Amino acid sequence: MAETQKKAAGSKKSVKPSIGSRIAAFWKGVKTEFRKIIWPTKESLKKQTILVLVVSVVMSVFIKAFDTLCQYIVGFIR
């Protein structure tokens, strides 16, 4: 009985799709996913860009102030 199962399992070959059909399926999936994207409006993009720039400037000023303070403390200790 085990021999019959081996023969049955051996006769089932998994057929792999061709490389061309796999590439086509990939790009079809990419196209489908791109249709799902909700792109920001120009106004929203403008607001977000300004916010990123403002936060970057504020953080750089904070880091510079902290660095200057640390340099002062280390210089005072020496």
Give residue-wise pLDDT tens across range 34-50.
999 999 999 999 999 99
Residue 23 lies in a domain: no
Instruction: Name residue, tokens 């880091």.
Output: 63
Contact between residue 61 and residue 68 where contact means Cβ atoms under 8 Å apart? no
- Segments forming the whole domain that contains residue 59: 41-78
**12: phi then psi, degrees, rounded to nearest 5:** -90, 105
The mean pLDDT of 19-28, rounded to a whole number, is 94
Residue 24 lies in a domain: no
Q: What is the pLDDT of residue 20?
A: 92
Residue 14 lies in a domain: no
Residue 64 lies in a domain: yes
Residue 59 lies in a domain: yes
Residue 55 lies in a domain: yes
State CA 26 to chain mean position distance.
18
**DSSP letters spanning 6-32:** HHHHHH-PPPPPPHHHHHHHHHHHHHH
Residue 16 lies in a domain: no
Per the structure, how many domains does the chain have? 1
pTM: predicted TM-score of the whole model, two decimal places: 0.54
Instruction: Name residue, tokens 């006769």.
Output: 11
Instruction: Name residue, tokens 């399926």.
Output: 25
Residue 68 lies in a domain: yes
